[in-house]
Homo-oligomer: A and B are copies of this chain.
Amino acid sequence: MYVHNGCMNSGRTLELTPVDAASEACCEPSGQPSIDDYEAQLRASVFKALADPNRLRLLSIVKSSDGGEACVCDLTEPLNLGQPTVSHHLKILVDAGLLHREKRGTWAYYSLVPGSIERTTGLLESL
């Protein structure tokens, strides 16, 4: 059973996010013709984060937002979801390594992690 340990990235992080860990491994010359089970679990955890329409919309809205960032209060209305649900989805995207969270005052600003989309497409192309 695969269990991933948290991935709390507050400031500097020692634990690698799934996107980082998976794309790190996928760039090493493995010699293996097909990916092993551990690599598959690592990559699947990234696609799991993308496997929800509301989370895709969150990424899309954040990406197209002014300054490339948005706070929760900007996101709850276009998705027609409750604030706890939006926070829940955002956490999943942060844990996957796709979004970055920065707290300024009372607000939490979410933005795309630079290069995370490219690293994710790499997980597909290097299957």
Contacts and interface: CB of A to CB of B under 8 A. Distances in A.
A59 B51 CA distance: 17
Contacts of A54: 40
A49 to B, nearest CB: 8
A88 interface: no
Contacts of A40: 53-54, 56-57, 60
A28 interface: no
A26 to B, nearest CB: 11
A47 interface: yes
A43 interface: yes
Interface string A22-58: 0000000000011101001101100110111111110
A51 B55 CA distance: 14
A18 to B, nearest CB: 12
B48 A60 contact: no
Contacts of A111: none
Task: Tell which of A44, A55, A59, A78 has the most Cβ of chain B within 10 Å.
Answer: A44
A55 B108 CA distance: 35
Contacts of A85: none
A21 interface: no
